[in-house]
């Protein structure tokens, strides 16, 4: 059974934020700044953008269920917690169906049921969730 892992990592401004992801055991840990460098974030950002562009190019005209099965969507999820700032940035630019990826990565779902189907409102719910954690 997969349990949650709680990790404190610095955001792009150097502020520590707590994140939750999947792991086989529950662990509280703090990731040292030297292990979480801007270079790694840039690499994640580049990889995310590449996967997003390929995913969107393949699924922009298909049903939502198939878009989540796409290999590039799964690659976005595989980027893990470092992809969250990239996903939030993308949602701020143009709402997209990245909500399932955020839920898979974070173990959270801040979207109330009455917002389901309203992609702009769902994006706003995730952006607010992110900002309430002191991230911008």
| Alpha carbons 114 and 98: distance in angstroms, whole number | 18
* Whether the Cβ atoms of residue 73 and residue 52 lie closer than 8 Å to each other: no
What's residue 59's pLDDT? 92
Q: What is the CA 98 to chain-centroid distance, rounded? A: 8
Listing DSSP states for the chain in one string gives --EEEEEEEE-TTS-EEEEEEEESS--EEE--GGGS-HHHHHHHHHHHHHHHHHHHHHHTTS-HHHHHHSHHHHHHHHTGGGGHHHHHHHHHHS--S-HHHHHHHHS-----GGGTT-HHHHHHHHHHHHHHTT--
Which residues of the chain fall short of a pLDDT of 50? 1-5, 22-37
What's residue 41's pLDDT? 53
pLDDT mean across residues, the chain: 79
What's residue 52's pLDDT? 96
């Amino acid at each position: 059974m997969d349990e949650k892992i709680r990790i404190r990592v610095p955001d792009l401004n150097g502020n520590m934020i707590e994140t939750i992801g999947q792991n086989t055991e529950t662990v509280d840990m703090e990731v040292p700044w030297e292990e979480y460098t801007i270079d790694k974030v840039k690499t994640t950002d580049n990889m995310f953008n590449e996967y997003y562009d390929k995913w969107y190019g393949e699924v922009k005209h298909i049903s939502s269920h198939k878009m989540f099965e796409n290999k590039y969507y799964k690659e976005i999820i595989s980027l893990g917690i470092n992809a969250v700032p990239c996903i939030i940035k993308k949602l701020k630019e143009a709402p997209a169906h990245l909500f399932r990826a955020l839920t898979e990565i974070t173990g959270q779902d801040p979207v109330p049921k009455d917002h389901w189907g309203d992609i702009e409102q769902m994006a706003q719910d995730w952006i607010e969730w992110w900002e309430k954690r002191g991230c911008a």
